[in-house]
Amino acid sequence: MKTRILKAMAAGMALIVLGFFTMSFTNAPQQQKGKPWEVPAKYKTMKNPHAGDKSIEALGKAGWAKHCKSCHGNKGLGDGPKAKALKTFPGDFSTKQFQAYTDGEIYYMSFIGRDEMPNFEKKITTEEERWAIVNLIRTMK
């Protein structure tokens, strides 16, 4: 009986020490969930002139690799190498909630931005490349 109590106490102390050790050396801040986007009406109803256009697929992939992948990851899961440094989780594009946005809303969020999501209007200047990236995001289900 005494042995069981001592073993239980030792196990409890080990967990406490391990917890303290882990908290001391993992200083990663918790990421917040982003507040809901307020997308202007003109973007909500904006039509994608390149919807389903496979001929610009390579352009979308190249734009994604250059501008988006570092935060949003290979598959849009919000797990890119720079994502952990952000205060706000960059989002998971594979969710039904995200995929329910219109193409125009995705366009607005991707190129106008807000808070930690930068504005890309001066970096991604052609409409064709912007819509190619929106089309690529649509495949991240």
pLDDT of residue 18 exceeding 60, the answer is: no
pLDDT digits (tens, 9 = 90+) for 97-116: 999 999 999 999 999 999 99
pLDDT digits (tens, 9 = 90+) for 22-45: 333 334 458 899 899 999 999 999
pLDDT digits (tens, 9 = 90+) for 39-64: 999 999 999 999 999 999 999 999 99
Tokens of 21: 């050790």
Q: At CA 75, angle to CA 100 and CA 137, rounded to 5? A: 40
Considering the chain, what is the average pLDDT of its residues? Answer: 86
User: What value does the mean pLDDT take over residues 70-80?
Assistant: 98
pTM of the model: 0.78
Long-range contacts of 65-68, Cβ-Cβ distance < 8 Å, separation of 24 or more: 67/120, 67/123, 67/124, 67/133, 68/110, 68/133
Tokens of 115: 């808070």
Q: Could you tell me which CATH number the domain at 34-138 has? A: 1.10.760.10
The residues spanned by each domain of the chain are: 34-138
